[in-house]
Each structure stands twice: as C-alpha cells, then as structure tokens.
A and B are shown apart, each in its own frame.
Chain A
C-alpha cells in the first residue's frame, strides 16, 4: 500500500506540494513511484522556468514507461534537486524525502484546489 504524508497538498496527477512560506516544494507521490517501477531518469526543469498550474514541467522515466509531470501551482522555479539527475532511484527509495523542484508561487490561493492526504488516498483507491 502506497503511503501518504499528512500536511502536504496533492494533485490529481500525483504530485505533492509542501509549503514553506511562499515557496512550494514539489515532488511525486509514493503511489506514482510504485506505479512507474524502477525509475531510470528524471527530466528536470531549469531554474527560472515559469509554469502555469497544470503545465508540464518535466517527466519521470522507467525502462518501459514515461510519465509527464504537471506543476501543481503557478510560479517560477527557484531551485531543482540536482541529486536526482544522477540518482533517479532516490524517488523509489523515498518519494517524499526527495523533492524535484522548488517554486516561488505566484498565486498561493491555488493550493486550495489541491487535495489533502485523505482525499488523495481515496482517489488512489479508485485507480
């Protein structure tokens, strides 16, 4: 059973968001890494990239699958987790401890449209 973490926001496309002031820390959920299997590559955004909520910002790849990542909030990338470039397996080891990007949010009210852990778990149960 895939785990979730309380206090995070979740998107329908399986990203999580941790809020730190005006910064959104974004990663993929444990459910997503399970579904993908052994990850072989993370296609990372670049610092200064700007995304709208719902816009594609990268992808995760396994040997036989690829899945696009969609930004759960609008804003500008301020930092990326460079460790993932050489070690995508970190996401398999702990999807919540290893974030992908940090975004300076342009509209924090967008967070309200995301799910909490319980709602996300319920959604996953139906997939």
Chain B
C-alpha cells in the first residue's frame, strides 16, 4: 500500500533503476559488505495512520498529570500570546535550513538581526549570537570563551548561587575541556564578595560567573564585583533571566564582559525542559571569541538593505578544531519565538509582566508565612521566585499541593523550598492555595 511520505510508484522506481543501470534497489548497496545488511524484522510497531498516531499520543498524555505551576528554578510558566505559534509554524520559517543562501533566507536573517538587537538592548551588551541550546550550555560556552579570551589562565570561578543544573553542565564541560573550576559560596542567600576576593587572590582566574537572580530567587547586588575581577584581568560574566532585565539592573550596567542565560522566560512553553533557547552576549572586545552564528547588516549589489551571516571565520565549519566552540545548529526557531514575544510585549508589556509577577510573588510570600508551615529563609530582594524555610518535610507540602493539582515547594536545598509566580497566577488562585494549606496545618 502507498505510504504518504514516499511518492514513488513501481513504475517510477523501475525507470530510475534503468537510468542508473542496476537491476534492483538492493543493487544500490552492492558496495556494502553483505553481512552487515540488516535482514531481520525491526522490533517496531506496525505503521499507523495519523488517526491512530493521535490516539496513541492521547493515551500517552493520559499518563501525565497537568499541574498548576508555582515552580521556577530554571523553567517558568509565563503566558505565551496566541500570535506566536501561528508565526513560528509558518513553514517558510519552520522548514528552512540555516540561512547559508542569504538571497532566499532574508526572513530568517532579518529576525535573527532583530533578535540580536533586542537581546543586546535587554542585556546592555554590544553583541549576541543567534542563540545557544539552553541556559546551561550557554554558561558552559561562556566559560570556554573566558578561557579563550584570557590566554594562559587555567581557572574559572562559579557562584554557588547558580542554578544546580547550570553548575552541573558547566562542570561536565570543564572536566573534559581541561578547565579548573573554583566555587564562590553564598552568604545570607547571595554570592559572597569576600569569598570571591579570596579566590581571585589565588590567581589564574580567567573569569567569574555569577547569577543575576540566583537559585533562591534573590536579585544579586554586584557592587564592586566587575572592578575586582577586572583588576585580576579576568572576565566578569553574569547568568541572567532576560525577561527580568526589562526592570532590573542590566549586566552591562554592572560592568559585565559576557552575559549568558535562557530566554525560556519569554513565553516559551515549559514542554518538559525543551526546546528552550540559550543566549550568549558580550562586549565589543570579545566578539571574535563569541561562538555560533552572528548576523550582520549589509547591502546587495543593487544597494538594497540586506542581512547575512557574518564573522564566520570564528566558526567550526572554517576553523575546525581551532573554533571556540563546536556549535552548529542552535535553537533558531525559538529565537524567533522570543523575538515575536518581545515585539508583542514591547518595553511596557515586558515591564508589566514583571510587575504582575513581582506583585503576585510578594503576596504569595507573605500569605505563605501566615500558614505556619514556613518561615523566612533570607531577607533579600526578590522578583518572581523566592525561597522559604519549610517547617515540615518539604515532600509533604509538595504532595499536599499536588493533591489539589498544584506544583510547588520544590526543594532547592534540604529544608529550603522554591515558589514562583508569573502573570498567569491570580489573587483567587493564591487565596485558594493558601487557604488549603492553612486548613492542612490546622
């Protein structure tokens, strides 16, 4: 029976084989050692129709439980405007390859240029690449950039306030790439300036990576950090939530050389961890070590404004083993996702997203303290997520919340739990959840 994705009729196949001058499809594999030709049946399901495939995934979906999200820690449940899926599913964007033929790729190239303009605007940096896989791998690339930019140094320092998954991924890259990592502990919920100075004084530091908003949800104050790092000829690097940068002080304002992070916070669905979109931005001094694709504006032979991949001599397809990174495919379509998001929101909308998240998070924070189940863990400013000390085992609270279809109170560290509020959470939602917890305590 004919299969929808194969257009060949038997007659087509015969004519094509005749042109090639072989007798059968199998003859096209005559150069393959016959003992590696696979002749057994594959242990795969029988071919399905679309309708059967749908039923299959519907059944699979029933084994998942959709929960109302009050959890952050690197994946945020912001609202995704209806326009975005319509735009990104336009097949001219969706089914195109990397824009290597600029004459027929101006759509992709133009949105990447817009994306670069917006991300640099939010971070206060000179330049960004066309995207990275996710925040954690962007942080690993930032580490390698620092090593490449400061020749002959051997160490990179990480704040222990970074999200645990970011630290884990950076550690993996460091282990194989031959980078020695040092760690700066947190004090009262924020990266310790004093501990950083001590580590810097030990010497050989290529760069220091700190979180703009740390794993406790606390907005960090980097007064003096950049100067201290630069005094040792290292690079100051910040891991940021780009959505938050519509309101909070930018890494550029803090004196950062490199900024990395994950733009999932700009409306990308949770989707069990991916696809998201990492970003990596830097000052002018470090552009030549920035990995990945970069788009620049130029003109065509007729003088029309046009866009093209540029500074390609940095990249793996030219530099091979001497490239800063091996990145090739990135998350281009997700870069379009956040570009459309930023266009829809504009400066005021993005500010409002932060206001709603901030207002809701502070309300939830104060209400939770009244349940008797929590007490304050830190007394530091936060934006949309925060950490409380749980007075009963965290697992019990998490399970109780799950009973009413809520996901929250995830442990950051033993006894310390995370909550996060976005603009999708209403006062009625918070009151109902807190009311339930109060009853539970009683």
A residues touching B (Cβ–Cβ < 8 Å)?
40-41, 43, 59, 61-66, 68
Which residues of A are found within 8 Å of B319, using beta-carbon distances? Answer: 66
> Are B313 and A68 touching (Cβ within 8 A)?
no
A60→B319 CA distance, assembly (Å): 12
- Which 10 A-B pairs give the minimum distances between C-beta atoms? A61-B313, A66-B313, A66-B318, A66-B319, A65-B318, A43-B288, A65-B313, A64-B312, A64-B318, A63-B312
> Are B322 and A62 touching (Cβ within 8 A)?
no
Which residues of B are found within 8 Å of A65, using beta-carbon distances? Answer: 313, 318
> Are A68 and B312 touching (Cβ within 8 A)?
no
Interface residues on B, range: under 10
Which residues of A are found within 8 Å of B322, using beta-carbon distances? Answer: 66, 68
Which residues of A are found within 8 Å of B313, using beta-carbon distances? Answer: 40-41, 59, 61-66
A5→B318 CA distance, assembly (Å): 31
Which residues of B are found within 8 Å of A59, using beta-carbon distances? Answer: 313
In the complex, number of A-B residue pairs with CB atoms less than 8 Å apart = 21
Residues of A contacting B: mostly:
strand
Which residues of A are found within 8 Å of B311, using beta-carbon distances? Answer: 40-41
Known pairs A63-B313, A64-B318 / 18 extra A-B pairs, C-beta < 8 Å: A40-B311, A40-B313, A41-B288, A41-B311, A41-B313, A43-B288, A59-B313, A61-B313, A62-B313, A63-B312, A64-B313, A65-B313, A65-B318, A66-B313, A66-B318, A66-B319, A66-B322, A68-B322
A5→B306 CA distance, assembly (Å): 41
Q: Which of A61, A62, A64 is the most central at the interface, judged by chain B CB atoms within 10 Å of its CB?
A: A61
Which residues of B are found within 8 Å of A43, using beta-carbon distances? Answer: 288
CB of A23, distance to nearest CB on chain B (Å): 23
A107→B145 CA distance, assembly (Å): 34
CB of A31, distance to nearest CB on chain B (Å): 20
A101→B318 CA distance, assembly (Å): 25
Nearest opposing residue in chain A for B310, CB measure: A63
Nearest opposing residue in chain A for B320, CB measure: A66
A68→B313 CA distance, assembly (Å): 11
A60→B311 CA distance, assembly (Å): 12
CB of B127, distance to nearest CB on chain A (Å): 14
A24→B312 CA distance, assembly (Å): 32
A76→B216 CA distance, assembly (Å): 49
Nearest opposing residue in chain A for B308, CB measure: A63
CB of B420, distance to nearest CB on chain A (Å): 44
CB of A12, distance to nearest CB on chain B (Å): 19
Chain B 304-326 near chain A by CB (<8 Å), digits 1 or 0: 00000001110000110010000
